[in-house]
Amino acid sequence: MNSIAMPGKLVTMAFENAPCAIVLTRNRRVMECNSAFCQLFGYEKDELLGQLTYMLYPSYEDYVKIGELRYKDLLQEHRCIDERFMKNKEGEVFWCRTQGNTLTLDSPFDLAVWTFTKIGIKQEKSNNLSIREREVSGYIANGYTCKEVARVLGISYRTVEAHRAKIMGKLGCRNTAELVSKIIQINA
């Protein structure tokens, strides 16, 4: 840049080019978001503006439950931090850390700013999975049954079950919910 931008333009430039995903919401509707936010969720900005954030959650139940919990946090502390599942435009779920601050203290959802960071786990855990196990794990994390995975990959149902069992053992999972959580973190 040959000339220095005006302060307002600098703030706009900084917001748009921030290295973390940022969104400004009014009553849980996207009012403004930056490029990193669009990239994280796979949407163009014009697809997000004015939309309820519901479209970014794996289910309506998650949207409602998380909303109730975060509303209470914002009302008491005026900020909140949590980790949760979110969903991108392609319908794939991922694990992320979310931080929010309300800008309207008496009515927290009237105006709030949020950041989202996709979370991964230590690389050595993902290195323990074979290429096929990573492939199978991606489908499991997105809600496919073993039979559906077998159909998509063109392998037997029993082979998928064997891969699933190996994945559970390698990741130290005791149940499906734990498995999905760890898979999402690995695929992050």
pLDDT in tens, 49-97: 999 999 999 888 889 988 998 999 999 999 999 877 789 999 887 778 8
Between 3-7, 20-24, 66-70, the lowest mean confidence (pLDDT) is in 3-7
Do residue 161 and residue 91 come from a single domain?
Answer: no
Residue 74 exposure: Cα atoms within 13 Å on the Cβ side: 25
Domain boundary pick from 80, 99, 118: 118
User: Can you give the residue range of the structural domain that contains 139?
Assistant: 123-187
Q: Could you give the CA distance from residue 122 to residue 117 in angstroms, rounded to a whole number?
A: 16
**Domain contains 111:** yes
Residue 1 has pLDDT above 60, yes or no: no
Give SS3 for 3: coil
